[in-house]
Structure 1
Amino acid sequence: MLITVAIAKLHFKIVQEKKIMELSFLSIVGCLLIVGGLLLPIYTANLFPLSKKSNDQYQEMMRKGDRGWIIDFKINQWIRKNWIYIPILGVLLFFIGLLF
């Protein structure tokens, strides 16, 4: 969050001084996706195997009849599979924003 605020303040200061061209909306969104996409797996602790539940623990919870974990499991699986695409999309949006 602090990084995002710092980027926004720096962007505003640069635009006010007109040292370089103003970043487009797509470039700003791209920057946010890059930072957010790289912090997402760290924040959710999906890159560290000791902090996530094993498949056996989820199977045991299913046998007990506890269904509240299903949404958490699906979100964690989605993050583990797709987190790398978020910063890649951010880089693409950043460069497309620089072109237009």
Structure 2
Amino acid sequence: MSLVMPVGLKFLPTDAELVGCYLYKKVTGMALPNGVVFECDLYGKENPWEIWERYKQNVVKCVEGEDLYFFTKLKKKSPKAKRIERRIGIGRCMGGRKW
């Protein structure tokens, strides 16, 4: 079940709010509100548009082109590598929160 927000209200957290409220709750085992930040293996074989389609119906307020927020585990390019995988499906993450 997702939350329903009043018209005009958007989820636009600052980096400090994401870390201080959501990440802190995640690492301390506290409950997170539904439909705000999801857990997803972003660096798997699923493409960005497939991830969007899978999660858009569960988000608090979703408008095409808005950001979705995820908790994901980083993966190394290979078991002995120091470099982190950044490829998402056939695409790649371009830094920040946008695809």
Q: Aligning the two structures, in what range does the TM-score lie when normalised by the shorter sequence?
A: under 0.3
* Length-normalised TM-score, structure 2: 0.24
Q: Which is richer in helix? A: 1
* Length-normalised TM-score, structure 1: 0.24
